[in-house]
Amino acid sequence: MHQLTPLSRIALMIFLAMTLLVVMACGDDEPPLPKVLSYSADIHATNSLITDISVTLDREGLVYVEYENAQAGKFRTDTSDEPAIEHLVPVLRLRQSTSYSYTVVATDSDGNETRSGSGTFTTGQLPEALSTLLIDAQGAPTAELLLLDIRDIDGSWFFMLDQDAQIVWYYESPNPVEDVPYAVTGIIQKPDFNLVYQLNNPFNICCIREITPTGSIVDNLAAGPVNGFPHRDLLLMPDGEILYPAWTYRVVDDTDQGGDAETLVEGLALYTWNQESGLTEQVWNAFDGIGTDVRVGWGTGNNTASYPGEVTLQEHTPPIRWTGANSVRIGPRGNIIVSIVNLSKIISISPDFQRVEWSLGGPSSTFTFEDPNNQFYRQHTAQQLPNGNILMFDNGRGRPDEEGGAYSRALELALNDYDLVARKVWEYRHDPDVFAVNRSSAFRLQNGNTLINFVADPRVVVEVTPDGAEVFEAAISGPRMQGSFRTYAIDSVMGETRITE
């Protein structure tokens, strides 16, 4: 093998360097990274806890915003969906009257980034309906955010608390009738972070609405004879349709029960709403699925002002309130778990909605109770856990004195298919007891804890571990509060994430 002389080595290195330059020159040019030309921040026109960041790039690119406050923490928004030169980035999860610093980050499709300088903005004050709330909290919830609703003297709101029990997002639901407060009931968050909720009051049933996190109404389903009268809850199905319980009306022959031959009855139906087509379909109703002979007395309904059915109210007034659902949830097999509050009963409907698989509690229960004290009364938020157990908020309204009387709890029951006996495996009672006459909620979190909402005065929100230890408790009250419904654990307002360093 021949040895290269020093001069030959130098010549070879020059040749290789020139060859590399030629190859690079002949190859595809890498486009330059987008750079931030300008950026500015403005508080949202209708929400003091949303800031809009306007961004101009020198070429099309994607952007996101990092923002922070020493007490609130450091976060980043989701990355924009489409490349563009002009961007408007909403920044959410902000505290009132708080200064934040922010940086705009421009990125290409490969994730390469350029950063702007630092800007600042200061949020505004909360509306009076929320600024007058008294939130006395101890500990911290394990979820990033808690979503709550409230009805005040003027209208209905929902808002989010961070782990320091600070309000970091809110929305006021417009009232369909001026100066008539409507209650926000069931709320679901879709994968795109839009919120879908029910809005009604005892005398005027309104609708189901969908809003963006920035407060724009993007869809609305009105109550009526075609869509039924949505009530209390709604559920996002795996196929993207929305399942919701509603009141429906039927004239029945009640002479076998000592009633009239033509009795107008208000009963439960389940509907699906396909938002793409705008069509709804009744997929199940209690008249055919249960039968009006399964009853706990008859109660006079209070929705007569809203009933526009084919049978006139003058002929049948008022309707008899028989069944209504306050929660619908999907079970482990795709079955539908329905809480029928009027009957103090929970039922499981087959995934195809063709039959009632079993019922628990109330009249004609499939399961008996190992201990009478395990029975529940006027329950809310019934759900079937992955292990088959049933978790609910047991309001205890109408509980007999021999079973403990008026108190509320979160209750978990195991259902034994062998002997058809329901056995208590877990419960949580606040110390001292909090009696929530109606509404309220209990949800099992992914970490095994349970988030419980007692609708009382004050409203009490608690997160407890499986052994009953309280990791978070908040008492919420205020001079304008008129009511509330539930508390939900969520991860994000609009795709923003916490930055930990």
pLDDT digits (tens, 9 = 90+) for 261-296: 889 999 999 999 999 999 999 999 999 999 999 998
Give the pLDDT band of residue 23 (cuts 50, 70, 90).
very low
CB 274 within 8 A of CB 254: no
What's 111's domain CATH number?
A: 2.60.40.10
Its domain, for residue 221, covers 129-498
When divided into structural domains, the chain yields a total of 2
Give the pLDDT band of residue 18 (cuts 50, 70, 90).
low
Same domain, 396 and 450: yes
Same domain, 161 and 298: yes
Cα separation, 179 vs 18, in Å, equals 80
Same domain, 334 and 386: yes
Same domain, 185 and 153: yes
Q: Is residue 23 part of a domain?
A: no
Average confidence (pLDDT) over 199-224: 89
Q: Is residue 29 part of a domain?
A: no
Cα separation, 282 vs 248, in Å, equals 10
Same domain, 75 and 147: no
What's 350's domain CATH number?
A: 2.120.10.30
Q: Long-range pairs for 82-88 at CB < 8 Å and ≥24 separation?
A: 83/109, 84/57, 84/60, 85/56, 85/57, 85/58, 85/59, 85/60, 85/61, 86/54, 86/55, 86/56, 86/57, 87/53, 87/54, 87/55, 87/56, 87/57, 87/63, 88/52, 88/53, 88/54, 88/55
Q: Is residue 309 part of a domain?
A: yes
**pTM score, two decimals?**
0.90
**Boundary-marking domain end, from 122, 138, 156:** 122
Q: Is residue 67 part of a domain?
A: yes
Tell me what pLDDT residue 318 has. Answer: 78
pLDDT digits (tens, 9 = 90+) for 327-380: 999 999 999 999 999 999 999 999 999 999 999 999 999 999 999 999 999 999
Same domain, 367 and 316: yes
Give the pLDDT band of residue 312 (cuts 50, 70, 90).
very low
Same domain, 135 and 90: no
Asked if omega into 432 is within 30° of 0 (cis), the reply is: yes
**Boundary-marking domain end, from 122, 142, 170:** 122
Q: Is residue 30 part of a domain?
A: no
Mention every residue, 6+ apart, whose C-beta is less than 8 A from residue 4: 12
Mention every residue, 6+ apart, whose C-beta is less than 8 A from residue 111: none
**Boundary-marking domain end, from 90, 122, 154:** 122
For residue 477, the one-letter residue type is S
Rounded percentage of the chain residues whose pLDDT exceeds 90: 78
Same domain, 105 and 220: no
pLDDT digits (tens, 9 = 90+) for 111-139: 899 999 999 999 999 999 999 999 999 99
CB 212 within 8 A of CB 313: no
Q: Is residue 25 part of a domain?
A: no
Same domain, 81 and 133: no
Mention every residue, 6+ apart, whose C-beta is less than 8 A from residue 273: 208, 221, 227, 241, 242, 243, 244, 279, 280
Q: Is residue 10 part of a domain?
A: no
Same domain, 84 and 180: no
Q: What 8-state DSSP symbol labels residue 464?
A: E
Tell me what pLDDT residue 203 has. Answer: 64
Same domain, 327 and 396: yes
Average confidence (pLDDT) over 157-177: 94
Same domain, 76 and 148: no
Q: Is residue 14 part of a domain?
A: no
